[in-house]
């Protein structure tokens, strides 16, 4: 497996090998799926939409709908205006969404299509809406696409009426529907009135009823997005993923925000809960305290198996930061942390973590790829890999256990239903990581050392 990867590290400037990121539109598509009765629309050739839908379906094991402008060579040369206008007409006609969220692809971006002005020329049926976001694939990553689409909705829909609605807006970051459910549970327990945007729960984890619904029950409603400007505060989760929409909201509507890390692990969840407690001026209920206590109990019980174990963590920037901090809380060392997303904020945050926990000899790199990570591991191995499915070849090649966490996970089931965030999510992560390490010990030990009680 990966036999051609040499140990000698070669400084590459042009060739990306085994990427740890993908392109903007897939993030934009995911964000749009988190809006109720929304049809994501890909402005470009149908190949992009096909790849993006395929990819999301493979991660969530759910339908991921999206329409496309279906460019051919003509549209690529003369502009995609007529394609997108026809497309919008047809989409409202045939699929009857309440809103169409258009994102661009590298094709329409390169020819410089002005989707904004196309929209103003469109015949949009009464009561229906069209929004757009520019998501060129040669800038940033799918993370940019996710927050750019959030900004697209805000730019087009959000208003400030002047009468505050007393709600807290929660920007959850690029996480699974299971995570969103857990955040909502915590918000309810904290008695915080909220709008979560976007919200893919009950869309990308909809139940089986025997009847297919093109627009399942979930998703942030248009009324809620409109009213974001009347929210009293924003809790933006994911320092990298959620900062731009939060800034936009502050600039446009003067809604203040608190930027927090993704609530993965104890400290990050603590900050989330503390913030909510301050905002809602409510004490943290016993149920949450109990779960936190259970989590700490678990960490203390299991620490002999995690203490000073080293991990290589890779994936989306905020997810990797969250996983790394939780590893540190378990006494582990996040020896390598990479993200493909080119955001230097990632390395800054990682360095801050290393300093906070006093660990040395760890490397964090943004705009990196899995080939590079593999080369580091070849030179100095780790005890466990934590990240997406794309690391499985390294895991096999180097015989290192892999704990799947983040996006995308294409080769396992159930993961997207169960949270990694919050204290409950951390319990699950603790179980996954500790079990991987303990399974490893069982597998590798001599017969006479095999323990029934551990």
Partner 1 sequence: MNERARMLDQYASRVYKNRKDHVLQLEDTPGVPEITANTRTVPGIITNRGCCYAGCKGVVVGPLKDCCVITHGPIGCGFYSWGTRRNKAAASEGGQNYIPYCFSTDMQESDIVFGGEKKLKAAIKEAVDIFHPKYIMICSTCPVGLIGDDVHAVARQAEEEYGITCVGFSCEGYKGVSQSAGHHIANNGLMKHIIGTGDKRPAGKYSLNILGEYNIGGDGWEEERILKRIGYDIISVFTGDGSVEAIQNAHTADLNLVMCHRSINYVAEMMKSKYGTDWLKVNFIGVGATIKSLRDIAKYFGDPDLMARTEEVIADELAAIGEDVEYYKNRLKGKRAGIFSGGSRSHHFQALLKDLGVETIIAGYEFAHRDDYEGRDVIPQIKEDADSKNIENLTIDADPELYKTRYSDEVMHALREQLPVDSYPGMIPDMKSGHIVVDDYNHVETEMLLKLYKPDIFFSGIKDKYIIQKSGVPSRQIHSYDYAGPYAGFKGAVNFARDITMSITVNAWGLIVPPWKSEPMLEGALTGGGE
Of 31, 32, 87, 157, the one binding partner 1 (CB under 8 A) is 87
Q: Per CB under 8 A, does 26 bind partner 1? A: yes
Separation of alpha carbons 347 and 366, rounded Å: 6
The stretch among 99-107, 203-211, 283-291, 380-388 that binds ligand SF4 (CB under 6 A) is 99-107
- End-to-end CA distance of the chain, in Å? 33
Per-residue contact string for residues 174-213; x = within reach of partner 1 by CB under 8 A: --------------------------------x-xxxxxx
Q: Per CB under 6 A, does 19 bind ligand SF4? A: no
**Taking every pair of C-alpha atoms in the chain, what is the biggest distance, in angstroms?**
77
The stretch among 23-31, 321-329, 398-406, 445-453 that binds partner 1 (CB under 8 A) is 23-31
Residues 322-351 that bind partner 1 (CB under 8 A): 340
Strand order in the sheet with 99-104: 67-68, 38-43, 99-104, 129-133
Q: Per CB under 8 A, does 398 bind partner 1? A: no
Of 68, 105, 144, 269, the one binding ligand SF4 (CB under 6 A) is 105
Q: Per CB under 6 A, does 25 bind ligand SF4? A: yes
Helix, strand or coil for residue 22? coil
The stretch among 20-28, 226-234, 251-259, 357-365 that binds partner 1 (CB under 8 A) is 20-28
Q: Per CB under 8 A, does 83 bind partner 1? A: yes
Question: Considering the complex, what minimum distance in angstroms separates the CB of residue 69 from ligand SF4?
Answer: 12
Q: Per CB under 8 A, does 22 bind partner 1? A: yes
Closest CA to 296 of 251, 266, 332: 266
Cβ proximity to ligand SF4: between 106 and 409 the closer is: 106
19 DSSP 8-state letter: B
Asked if 29 contacts 52 with a C-beta cutoff of 8 angstroms, the reply is: yes
Give the Cα-Cα-Cα angle 362, 236, 49 (nearest 5 degrees).
85
Q: Report what 67 binds from partner 1, ligand SF4, none; CB cut-off 5-8 Å by kind.
A: partner 1
Asked if 385 contacts 401 with a C-beta cutoff of 8 angstroms, the reply is: yes
Q: Per CB under 8 A, does 227 bind partner 1? A: no
The helix or strand, by DSSP H or E, that contains position 241, with its residue range, turns out to be none
Separation of alpha carbons 152 and 150, rounded Å: 5
Q: How many residues bind partner 1 (CB under 8 A)?
A: 82
Per-residue contact string for residues 63-82; x = within reach of partner 1 by CB under 8 A: xxxxxxxxxxxxxx------
Q: Per CB under 8 A, does 413 bind partner 1? A: no
- What interhelical angle do 266-280 and 422-444 show, nearest 10? 170
**Token pair listed for 265:** 């692990």
Asked if 394 contacts 365 with a C-beta cutoff of 8 angstroms, the reply is: no
Q: Which residues bind ligand SF4 (CB under 6 A)?
A: 23, 25, 48, 51, 105-107, 137
């Amino acid at each position: 497996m990966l036999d051609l990867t040499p140990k000698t590290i070669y400084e590459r400037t042009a060739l990306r090998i085994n990427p740890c990121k993908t392109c903007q539109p897939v993030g934009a598509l995911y964000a749009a799926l988190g809006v109720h009765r929304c049809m994501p629309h890909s402005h470009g050739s149908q190949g992009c939409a096909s790849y993006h839908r395929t990819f999301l379906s493979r991660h969530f094991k759910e339908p991921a709908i999206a329409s496309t402008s279906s460019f051919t060579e003509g549209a690529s040369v003369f502009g995609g205006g007529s394609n997108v206008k026809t497309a919008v007409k047809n989409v409202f006609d045939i699929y009857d969404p309440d809103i169409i969220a258009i994102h661009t692809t590298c094709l329409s971006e390169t020819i410089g299509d002005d989707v904004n002005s196309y929209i103003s020329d469109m015949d949009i049926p009464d009561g229906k809406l069209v929004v757009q976001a520019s998501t060129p694939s040669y800038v940033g990553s799918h993370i940019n696409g996710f927050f750019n689409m959030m900004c697209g909705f805000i730019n087009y829909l959000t208003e400030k009426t002047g009468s505050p609605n007393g709600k807290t807006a929660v920007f959850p970051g690029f996480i699974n529907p299971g995570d969103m459910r857990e955040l909502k549970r915590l918000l309810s327990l904290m008695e915080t009135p909220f709008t979560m945007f976007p919200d893919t729960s009950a869309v990308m984890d909809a139940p089986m009823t025997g009847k297919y619904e093109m627009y399942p029950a979930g998703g942030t409603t248009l009324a809620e997005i409109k009213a974001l400007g009347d929210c009293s505060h924003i809790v933006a989760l994911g320092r990298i993923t959620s900062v731009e929409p939060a800034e936009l909201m502050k600039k446009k509507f003067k809604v203040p925000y608190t930027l927090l890390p993704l609530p993965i692990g104890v400290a990050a969840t603590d900050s989330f809960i503390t913030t909510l407690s301050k905002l809602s001026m409510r004490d943290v209920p016993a149920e949450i305290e109990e779960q936190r206590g259970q989590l700490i109990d678990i960490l203390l019980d299991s620490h002999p198996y995690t203490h000073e174990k080293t991990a290589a963590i890779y994936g989306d920037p905020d997810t990797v930061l969250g996983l790394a901090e939780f590893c540190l809380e378990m006494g582990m060392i996040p020896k390598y942390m990479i993200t493909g997303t080119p955001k230097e904020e990632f390395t800054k945050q990682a360095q801050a973590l290393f300093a906070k926990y006093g660990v040395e000899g760890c490397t964090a790199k943004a705009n990196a790829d899995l080939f590079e990570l593999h080369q580091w591991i070849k030179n100095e191995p780790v005890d466990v890999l934590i990240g997406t499915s794309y690391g499985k070849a390294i895991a096999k090649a180097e015989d290192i256990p892999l704990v799947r966490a983040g996006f995308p996970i294409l080769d396992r089931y159930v993961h997207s239903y169960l949270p990694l965030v919050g204290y409950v999510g951390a319990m699950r992560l603790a179980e996954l990581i500790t079990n991987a390490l303990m399974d490893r010990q069982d597998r590798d030990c001599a017969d006479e050392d095999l323990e029934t009680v551990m």
